[in-house]
Amino acid sequence: MMNKLKRKDNLTWKEIENQIVIIDALTHQRVHKLNSTASFIWKNIDIPREDLLAKMEIEFEGDHSPMSSDLDICLEQLMSLGLLSER
């Protein structure tokens, strides 16, 4: 699933000190602030799912199964906010 998703075109996003803020101009400047886990996923969204999970396990020192669940929840939320699209 992972590598079928990409960031939606034309979003504005910047990171300061592990905080990512995204502005979606096409939805009248809707603003989103990501927590550190979502920020990590957002930055690495282009890599294959299993590679991302491995990176998450190292970054957050977590186990595979709960991390996989966190990843799916995060992706679902990002999708529901209209920030991701299918490749």
Partner 1 sequence: MKDNINQSRILSDFSELAFHKNIPMHTTLEITHGCNFSCKHCYNFDRTQKKSFYDESEILSKDEILNAIDQVCEAGGMFINLSGGEPLTSPYIYDYIKRVKFNNSMARLKTNFSLINPERASLLYHAGIDQVEGSIYGIDEKTYEIFTSKKNFKNSIDGILELKKFNIDITANIIIHKYNYKDLDKMITLLTSLDVGYEFSDEITSRYDKSDSSCDMQINDQEFEELLLGSRGEAFWYNNKEKSLQCSCAKNVCAIALNGDVYPCIGAPIKAGNIKEDNFKKIWEESDLFNEIRGIKSANFKECMKCDYIENCSRSSGTTYINTGDYYGCDEQTLSQAKIRNKHKSKFKNAK
Q: Is 80 in the site for partner 1 (CB under 8 A)?
A: no
Q: Is 12 in the site for partner 1 (CB under 8 A)?
A: yes
Query: Shortest distance, CB of residue 57 to partner 1, whole angstroms?
Result: 27
Please state the separation of Cα 54 from the chain's center in Å. 15
Alpha-carbon distance 72 to 38, whole Å?
11
Segment contacting partner 1 (CB under 8 A): 7-15, 48-56, 59-67, 79-87? 7-15
For residue 32, give the nearest of 46, 47, 42 by alpha carbon.
42
Binding partner 1 (rule: CB under 8 A), the pick from 1, 5, 6, 10 is 10
CA atoms within 13 A on the CB side of 85: 6
Q: Is 41 in the site for partner 1 (CB under 8 A)?
A: no
**How crowded is residue 58: how many other Cβ atoms within 10 Å of its Cβ?**
8
Query: Shortest distance, CB of residue 81 to partner 1, whole angstroms?
Result: 12
**Residue ranges that bind partner 1, judged by CB under 8 A:** 9-14, 16-17, 19, 21, 23, 25-33
